[in-house]
């Protein structure tokens, strides 16, 4: 397949809208696809990375540079990339392309009738992320990061089956109608599946409203488990697509039992459970609590399987199931000692040493979701060990920072078993070392040898960070260091989740995350879009200079979190 370049239009700077082109000037060049036609790229004619590059007009920065910030993204080799025919598409988001990459490499991609849309003059009106994801998948396969990928693609070529429709009008009033429907959520996928086909309420099948409710609960339960079992930190397959989520449920069928139990419990308690925490999150916690007695060796085996992309429920023990169900029934009843659960209070952020509203209070004065999850985990630990707890024993650890009391994330309680908590990155299992070392061979830049000091080492850095945070308590700091961009402490964990890398430990014990320039730019853009202040700190002869990161793409946008109700 050969696709000629039809547009002599300079790609606009990243984040800026494409300049309008004189319709007459475009028409004078002639249409590449004057008539609508459907190209069937499947069977013996699937799409490959080479096809995707031709459709996109894929361009790499020439040797010697010169592009500056005028590029769309960096590929897996760290090269700056422009796509000449995607300038009229919606803003590019790397996470979307990485999800396509992950689905292809794990062979979860399916031809479902959806099309890639190419305009009269060759513009990719829809399919930008699919094409880029296909190219990235081929690059990742060539880099040999995961043995499973080679097993999935023994011929060494990643293929995508897709209908491509060409010859669609590129007028604004046509292109602006593309992708205007709401995307299908995981809740929608679950609701139309047969996962809960055998479930009954009062000996009657589930109603449409019941299925919608259960779909939302399952989505939130999987979201919680994805984070707290360490899947979000897993190399290369930490992106939570619908296909990955459904595969997680299939390999962890206990999720269905937990959602069903919480659904019925919420109904029997007349919605009382939902006043504690979203029932979907409760179902996720029930799963963690029910498997909390899994032996440490099996926990290690499970996390090793997570690192290798092959985690299954077979590693887990359900010996604590009955006790966990009893705990949640007590929570829903609010009787006996469970009354004290709702007396747990949070400290006043303005007056250290004093306390304000109850953590489980509704509306203003109530605790955050993280505080609620932490209190429930602490109550579970005490309940499973001693069968009793008090409001005082449920107190959480807070620390003072810039004159305010904030939750001490490093000391948050967990449910036990495979639960790795919210913000603590899971240490890579030694048995996954072979896979990780293979990936590191292809990492852009050079990693310092063992014992070699970087320009900013761990000594005194914690004090420097503390000093910097006095003026910027909510900011995320990054430090350019030679070929690397580094983040330290809690910032290393926060950014690590976004770039799917696990921080290491300096001899001082301080966490450090080393990133290539491209990885750092993507992570900082994501943080900026989510409302974080991102600061670049540079060491100039012992003096730290701080500059605000303005973003490599002005159009970057964060996704609003959906509420269950």
Show me where the domains of the chain are located. Answer: 23-175, 186-411, 443-548
Q: How many residues does the chain have?
A: 565
pLDDT score, position 240 = 81
DSSP symbol at 339: G
pLDDT score, position 233 = 67
Query: Which residues lie closer than 8 Å to 133 by C-beta, 6 or more apart?
Result: 96, 97, 98, 99, 100, 101, 103, 104
CATH class of 443-548: alpha beta
pLDDT score, position 432 = 41
**Contact (Cβ atoms closer than 8 angstroms) between residue 435 and residue 425:** no
pLDDT score, position 135 = 95
Q: Over the range 320-355, which residues count as b (16 or more CB within 10 Å of their CB) and which as e?
A: bbebbbebbbbbbebeeebebbbebbbbeeeeeeee
pLDDT score, position 174 = 84
pLDDT score, position 53 = 93
Rounded Cα–Cα distance for residues 230 and 456 (Å): 29
Query: If we measure between CA atoms, which residue out of 208, 161, 172 comes closest to residue 188?
Result: 208
> Which secondary structure element, helix H or strand E, spans residue 41, and what is its range?
strand 37-41
Rounded Cα–Cα distance for residues 245 and 225 (Å): 10
Q: What is the mean pLDDT of each run of 10 residues along the chain (565 residues)?
A: 35 36 50 90 93 92 84 87 75 83 88 89 89 93 83 92 91 78 79 84 82 91 89 66 86 93 88 84 94 90 81 92 93 86 69 61 69 88 82 76 65 83 50 39 36 42 73 79 79 74 73 80 74 76 70 38 38
pLDDT score, position 554 = 32
Rounded Cα–Cα distance for residues 29 and 419 (Å): 60
CA 418 to centroid of chain Cα atoms: 19
Query: If we measure between CA atoms, which residue out of 442, 534, 524, 517 comes closest to residue 480?
Result: 517
Cα first-last separation, the chain? 49
**Contact (Cβ atoms closer than 8 angstroms) between residue 221 and residue 280:** yes
């Amino acid at each position: 397949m050969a696709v000629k370049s039809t547009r002599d239009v300079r790609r606009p700077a990243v984040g800026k809208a494409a300049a309008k082109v004189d319709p007459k000037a475009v028409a004078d060049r002639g249409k590449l696809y004057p008539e609508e036609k459907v190209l069937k790229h499947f069977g013996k004619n699937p799409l490959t990375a080479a096809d995707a590059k031709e459709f996109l007009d894929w361009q790499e920065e020439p040797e010697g540079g010169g592009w500056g910030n005028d590029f769309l993204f960096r590929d897996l080799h760290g090269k700056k990339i422009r796509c000449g025919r995607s300038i009229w598409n919606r803003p590019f988001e790397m996470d979307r392309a990485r999800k396509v990459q992950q689905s292809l490499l794990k062979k979860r991609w399916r031809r479902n009738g959806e099309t890639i849309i190419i305009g009269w003059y060759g513009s990719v009106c829809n399919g930008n992320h699919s094409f880029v994801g296909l190219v990235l998948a081929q690059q990742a396969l060539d880099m040999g990061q995961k043995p499973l990928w080679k097993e999935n693609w023994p011929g060494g070529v990643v293929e995508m089956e897709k209908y491509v429709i060409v010859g669609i009008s590129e007028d604004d009033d046509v292109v602006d109608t593309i992708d205007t429907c709401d995307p299908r959520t995981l809740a929608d996928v679950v609701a139309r599946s047969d996962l809960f086909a055998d479930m009954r309420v009062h000996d009657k099948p589930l109603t449409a409203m019941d299925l919608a409710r259960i779909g939302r609960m399952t989505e939130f339960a999987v979201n919680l488990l994805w984070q707290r079992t360490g899947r979000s930190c897993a190399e290369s397959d930490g992106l939570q697509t619908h296909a990955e989520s459904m595969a997680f449920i299939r390999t962890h069928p206990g999720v269905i039992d937990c959602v069903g139990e919480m659904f019925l419990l919420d109904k029997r308690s007349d919605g009382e459970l939902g006043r504690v925490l979203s029932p979907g999150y409760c179902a996720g916690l029930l799963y963690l609590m029910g498997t909390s007695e899994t032996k440490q060796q099996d926990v290690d085996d499970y996390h090793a399987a997570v690192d290798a992309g092959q985690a299954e429920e077979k590693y887990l023990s359900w010996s604590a199931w009955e006790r966990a169900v009893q705990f949640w029934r007590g929570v829903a009843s609010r009787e006996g000692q469970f009354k004290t659960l709702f007396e747990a209070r949070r400290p006043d952020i303005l007056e250290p040493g004093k306390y304000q509203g109850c953590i489980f209070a509704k509306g203003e004065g109530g605790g955050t979701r993280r505080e609620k999850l932490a209190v429930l985990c602490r109550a579970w630990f005490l309940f499973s060990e001693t069968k009793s707890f008090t409001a005082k024993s449920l107190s959480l650890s807070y620390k003072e920072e810039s004159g305010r009391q904030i939750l001490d994330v490093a000391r948050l309680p967990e449910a036990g078993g495979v639960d790795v908590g919210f913000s603590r990155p899971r240490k890579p299992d030694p048995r996954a070392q072979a896979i990780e070392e293979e990936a590191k061979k292809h990492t852009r830049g050079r990693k310092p040898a063992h014992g070699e000091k970087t320009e900013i080492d761990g000594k005194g850095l914690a004090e420097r960070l503390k000093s910097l945070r006095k003026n910027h308590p909510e900011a995320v700091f990054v430090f350019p260091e030679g070929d690397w961009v580094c983040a330290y402490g809690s910032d290393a964990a926060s950014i690590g989740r976004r770039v799917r890398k696990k921080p290491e430990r300096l001899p001082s014990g301080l966490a450090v995350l080393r990133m290539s320039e491209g990885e750092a730019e993507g992570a900082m853009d994501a943080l900026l879009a989510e409302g974080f202040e991102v600061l670049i700190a540079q060491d100039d002869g012992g003096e730290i200079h701080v500059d605000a990161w303005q973003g490599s793409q002005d159009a970057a946008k964060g996704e609003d979190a959906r509420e269950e109700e």
